[in-house]
Each structure stands twice: as C-alpha cells, then as structure tokens.
Amino acid sequence: MKINNKMEEAINKQVNAELYSAYLYLGMSARCSELNLKGMANWFYVQAQEEMTHAMKFYRFILERSGSARLPGIEGVRSDWKNPLEMFAAAYEHEQKVTALINNLMDIATAERDHASASMLNWFIDEQVEEEANASEITEKLKLVGESREGLFMLDKELSTRVFVDSTQPAGKAQP
C-alpha cells in the first residue's frame, strides 16, 4: 500500500534530520581528532555511521511504500567545540530532540492509522532509548573526570573500542 502524503512528508524530513545527525557527529569526530582524542573521535565516527544507516532505513521505507524520497540540503554544523564534555552534552541534547521527532512521527502514524509506519517506527523508538542512554552515560563520566588528564585518557581509551554494527538490518540480510 502506498504511503500517504502526510507520512511521506514527515519521514522525508526525518531522513534530513538523520543525515544532519551524521554530519554533526562527523564534525565532532573531526574536532576530537584535532584535540588528539582518537578514541572519542572513533566513538563519534561510529555514531555518524549509525545515523547514516538510520537515514537509509527511513529512505528505503519511503521507496518500499511507493513514495517519493525528497533530499533537501543539510544544514551546516558547528566546529568550534571547546572540549569533550561540551560535545557529549550537546550530543545528549541532540538525541533528546531526535527522540521528540521520532515520537512525533509515531503520533502521525497513529493518527493516520498507518500501521506499517508505526511498526517500522517501533524500532526507532527502542533505538532512541539506547542513543540517549549512551550519550548521557559518557557525559556523566566526563563530569566525574573533571580536569583529570588521567581520567580523560582512560575514557578516551575506552571509547576507542567501539565498532560499527549495522543494527538496522536483520542478521544475514544484505543491504541494497
């Protein structure tokens, strides 16, 4: 069944929001690299990859429902982050905004009685719980570390172990 116009428009906006998220995290990754915090740069780089897969999941959903994908320009992001705490606090705040956007999509799906969209959105609602928790946890660890160079070094090392796993695809399913 073809996606209705209201849902299509809203999901197209979400594709843009997810691409903006990827752009934001890529910028934060670059800034961490400049600060010689390679582990944090890695964490943000992996986060950017995740956001790209989220954008593509929405994009593919529109096309699978015989809709039209619209790709307006992506807004620029700041690059003058002072320190990791500022970046991770902003990441946490950003994830809260994304959660609100996803919840709004679910509200539209419910109002439009679009069960296919609601089913797909359930995955994102669950994902946002994890996204917020991760950014919040690191923000709180950075607050605990304070000015400790040793603590910052240890946290940077911990974040260097993060690897990208495409959780949007069922195991064994190839991406188009």
With cut-offs at 50, 70 and 90, classify the pLDDT of residue 176: very low
Average pLDDT of the residues of the chain:
94
- Model confidence at 175: pLDDT above 60: no
Distant-in-sequence, close-in-space partners of 10: CB < 8 Å, separation ≥ 6: 104, 105, 108
pLDDT value at residue 170: 65
Where does residue 3 fall: left (phi above 0), alpha (psi -120 to 50 degrees), or beta otherwise?
A: beta
- Model confidence at 127: pLDDT above 90: yes
* Token pair 């990827």 in the structure block, residue: 22
Digit-coded pLDDT (tens) for 149-165: 999 999 999 999 989 98
Separation CA 7–CA 117 (nearest Å)? 8
* Rounded alpha-carbon distances, angstroms, from residue 91 to 29, 69, 85, 87, 132: 12, 27, 10, 6, 9
Are residues 31 and 87 in contact, defined by beta-carbon separation less than 8 angstroms? yes
pLDDT value at residue 167: 79
* Domain spans in the chain, listed from the N-terminal domain onward: 5-71+80-159
From the candidate CATH numbers 1.20.1260.10, 3.40.50.1100, 3.40.50.10860, 1.20.120.530, the one assigned to the domain spanning 5-71+80-159: 1.20.1260.10
* Token pair 């992506």 in the structure block, residue: 74
pLDDT value at residue 173: 54
Helix %, strand %, coil % of the chain (to 5): 70, 0, 30
Separation CA 32–CA 38 (nearest Å)? 7
Angle of helix 38-64 versus helix 115-145 axis, rounded to 10: 170
Are residues 67 and 3 in contact, defined by beta-carbon separation less than 8 angstroms? yes
Digit-coded pLDDT (tens) for 31-77: 999 999 999 999 999 999 999 999 999 999 999 999 999 999 999 99
